[in-house]
Structure 1
Amino acid sequence: MTKPKGPFTTVSPIVLASGSPRRRELLADLGLEFTVHPSPLEEPAPELNEPPQDYVKRMAELKTLDVARLYTGQTVIGADTIVVLKDRIMGKPKDDAHALEMLTALSGKTHQVITGFCMVMPDGSDITKAVSTDVDMRNSTDEELRAYIATGEPTDKAGAYAIQGVGTFLVTAINGSYTNVVGLPVARILQILLQNSLIKTRQ
């Protein structure tokens, strides 16, 4: 269980269906207590002509529902994040060469970071949404990108960069939710949790 420290407290048990340290930190910063149980399912590739928002919501549902069957009567939250450049979906890079190809394509352009999230409520109902944020990237040289890849940070990141890490130097501006780019649209999830009395303000 996580140690509470933020302005909210958990009313009903919460399970995070993700192994992402970034998502875990974002929820913990709110003050919530939760159990972490990642789904072991492999993520299938997008279907032919599948819109990015549909794909990312499908991935979020796939992982969340897989975990939720083990936690009846609890709130289960899962998410999936992708980077999209002109309808091209970018997941995590396969290797350094793939990371360089992704970062080169993103350099000097505006792309979208889309996070799909699924929340299974204690009564078994579920809510699935997708949130999109525009991200502007600076023009980076090949040498800069190779040096960034050498840090190892891009390895497990959608689009091969982390806005909250070393990769912050790549980004010139964002339009939309910052936490969505990190991996979880906190404000949207918080709103649903509060509306359903699953959490409350810490007294």
Structure 2
Amino acid sequence: MEANAPHFKLILGSSSTARRKILADMGYHFTTMSADIDEKAIRKEKPEDLVMALAEAKAEAIIPRVSIGESEGDAEPTLLITCDQVVVYEGVVREKPSSEAEARQFMKDYANGHAATVSSVLVTNLVTGSRRGEWDKVEIYFHDIPDQVIDKLIEEGIVLYAAGGLIIEHPLILPYVKEVVGSTDSVMGLPKALTERLIKEVL
């Protein structure tokens, strides 16, 4: 598989463990950088527009910090991947819960209901300036989620850092996921097929 010896350098502009794992699973070697941006300062009406705007803002914040050797004309291209994700519930965009109480409410809402994740991927070729981005949407349907499961998840704390307090790959939550319409890697923050295609498009 050519991905093991790619003819480009790859930077993942994210500190997300799940995204790092997915990209490594795809066979890529990469470095990570994270963008310190005020995500709350960027507002858009539609979730699809919001995640794309955030991925762009992250790219703009990281690009000036990357040094690319201009002298070597045949230098390998350097690609930067930036992403964002929100959860949409009943038409409302949900970001990371602001408190344990909010995380608990989010999860109670999902029980016997459904939510969607909207994830963006933006790949920028830092040598040519070529940039391609797209978003991906996945619908998730849940069975009832018992209160003690919600308590355990909150105690453990990971859900407090997840968009919409939504995690589906967690062993505690898995039994209560009824159906996922779309790919699990997209829910985890990095849709593999889309990322693969955008990388090819900017090279």
Counterpart secondary structure, 2:134: strand
Counterpart secondary structure, 1:89: strand
Which residue matches 1:74? 78
Which residue matches 2:51? 56
Letter in 2 for 1:130: W
Letter in 2 for 1:63: K
- Quote how far apart the aligned CAs of 1:195 are: 4.4
2:183 paired with 1:177: yes
- Quote how far apart the aligned CAs of 1:196 are: 4.5
Q: Distance in 2 between matches of 1:18 and 1:51?
A: 23
1:107 to 108, 111, 114: 111
Q: Distance in 1 between matches of 2:43 and 2:195?
A: 27
- Quote how far apart the aligned CAs of 1:60 are: 1.0
Letter in 2 for 1:43: E
Counterpart secondary structure, 2:40: coil
Which residue matches 1:138? 143
Question: What is the aligned length?
Answer: 192
Identity %: 23
2:99 paired with 1:95: yes
- Quote how far apart the aligned CAs of 1:89 are: 0.8
Letter in 1 for 2:105: E
TM-score, normalising length: structure 1: 0.86
- Quote how far apart the aligned CAs of 1:11 are: 1.3
Q: What does 1:158-177 align with in structure 2 at a 5 Å threshold?
A: 158-166=163-171, 167-177=173-183
TM-score, normalising length: structure 2: 0.86
Q: Distance in 1 between matches of 2:167 and 2:136?
A: 18
Decide whether the 8 Å contact of 1:82 with 1:89 is kept in 2: yes
Which residue matches 2:156? 151
Counterpart secondary structure, 2:140: strand
Q: What does 1:39-50 align with in structure 2 at a 5 Å threshold?
A: 39-44=35-40, 47=43, 50=45
Counterpart secondary structure, 1:155: helix
Q: Distance in 1 between matches of 2:182 and 2:138?
A: 5
Letter in 1 for 2:112: G
What per-residue deviation string (whole Å, max 9, x for no partner) do you get for residues 112-149 of structure 1? 11101211113112112110001101112333322332
Q: Distance in 1 between matches of 2:37 and 2:190?
A: 20
